[in-house]
Chain A
Amino acid sequence: MIRRLRDAFSTGASDETMNADIRHGMDDVLAALDNVIDDEAVLTRIYARLGKDVPGPATGQGGGTAADEICARIGMLESAITTVVKARPPASFLGTVSLNTARRYLFELRNGLQNRTMTAPEAFRLLSSIRHALHEADTVLRRQHDMPLRQPVHAQIGDLRQLSTDLLGQLEDITEGVMRLFGHSDDSALILVPQH
Chain B
Amino acid sequence: MGKAARNRRLRSARPQQQSAAAEARLRRDGHTGPMPAAAPATRTLMAQVLDQTEMPCRATFIDSLFPGAGSVAPVTGVTDGGEPVFDLTETRDRVPVMMFEPERMVMATDTATGTTHDLLTEALVSGGFTRVPPLALLGAMPADGWELYRTTDGVVLLDPYGGTVAEGRLTLDPEWVSDAASSRQVLVLVGPRLGIRVPPGRTLESYTADEQIKEFHQCRHKGYLIAAVVGWRGPDAGKALKWVLLRQRSLGLALPLAYVPAASFRAHGGAEAFGFTTFLPPDAPINEPSLARGLAAELTATDIDLIRPDLDRELGWICGYRPGPGSHETFGAWGNEARRHGYILVASGEKDLPTTGPDCAERAFEVLMDSVVAAVPLTPFSRSGHTERGE
Q: Which A residues contact B (CB, under 8 angstroms)? A: 1-7, 9-12, 82, 89-94, 97-98, 100-101, 103-104, 107-108, 111-112, 115, 117-118, 122, 125, 128-129, 132-133, 136, 144, 147, 149, 153, 156-157
Contacts and interface: CB of A to CB of B under 8 A. Distances in A.
A1 B159 contact: yes
Contact of B315 (A1, A91, A103, A153): A103
Contacts of A5: 46, 50, 119, 122-123
A164 to B, nearest CB: 12
A92 B123 contact: no
Contacts of B50: 2-3, 5-6
A118 B162 CA distance: 17
Q: How large is the interface on B (under 10, 10 to 19, 20 to 34, 35 or more residues)?
A: 35 or more
Given A10-B37, A90-B112, A122-B266, 17 more contacts: A2-B123, A3-B305, A4-B317, A9-B38, A12-B111, A82-B312, A92-B110, A92-B113, A93-B110, A94-B115, A94-B122, A104-B314, A104-B315, A111-B269, A115-B269, A144-B115, A157-B113
Contacts of B112: 89-93, 149, 153, 156
B113 A125 contact: no
A73 B1 CA distance: 58
A9 B123 CA distance: 14
A1 B123 contact: yes
A128 B113 contact: no
Contacts of A94: 110, 113, 115, 117, 122
B242 interface: no
Given A2-B165, A144-B113, A149-B113, A111 B126 contact: no
12 contacts: A2-B50, A3-B50, A5-B46, A6-B46, A7-B314, A89-B112, A92-B113, A104-B315, A117-B269, A129-B127, A147-B115, A157-B113
Contact of B161 (A1, A90, A117): A1
Nearest to B270: A117
In terms of DSSP, what is the predominant structure of the interface of chain B? Answer: mixed
A104 B159 CA distance: 14
Interface string B103-147: 000001011110101011011011110000000000000001100
A96 B128 CA distance: 16
A98 B270 CA distance: 25
A10 B305 CA distance: 22
Contact of B145 (A97, A129, A147, A157): A129
A153 B111 CA distance: 11
Contacts of B122: 5, 94, 97
Contact of A97 (B115, B123, B266, B315): B123
Given A93-B108, A115-B273, A101 B313 contact: no
A9 B110 contact: no
B267 interface: yes
A129 B123 contact: no
Contact of B126 (A9, A97, A118): A97
Contacts of A136: 125-126
A163 to B, nearest CB: 16
Task: Give me the 10 closest cross-chain CB pairs, A-B, nearest first.
Answer: A9-B37, A117-B269, A93-B110, A101-B126, A98-B126, A125-B144, A2-B50, A108-B267, A115-B269, A11-B38
Given A1-B165, A132-B128, A112 B110 contact: no
B229 to A, nearest CB: 13
A128 B144 CA distance: 8
Contact of A107 (B43, B266, B315): B315
Contacts of A125: 144-145, 160
Contacts of A82: 312
Nearest to A127: B144
A107 B159 CA distance: 18
Interface in B300-323: 305, 312-315, 317, 320
A98 B42 CA distance: 22
A133 to B, nearest CB: 5
Contacts of A104: 267, 314-315
Contacts of B360: none
Given A7-B313, A111-B269, A1 B127 contact: yes
A165 B244 CA distance: 43
B315 A112 contact: no
Contacts of B38: 9-11
B47 interface: yes
Contacts of A144: 113, 115
A10 B50 CA distance: 19
B154 interface: no
A169 to B, nearest CB: 20
Interface in B20-70: 37-38, 42-43, 46-47, 50-51
B268 interface: yes
Contact of A147 (B108, B113, B317): B113
Contacts of A133: 126-127
B391 interface: yes
B349 to A, nearest CB: 17
A54 B25 CA distance: 56
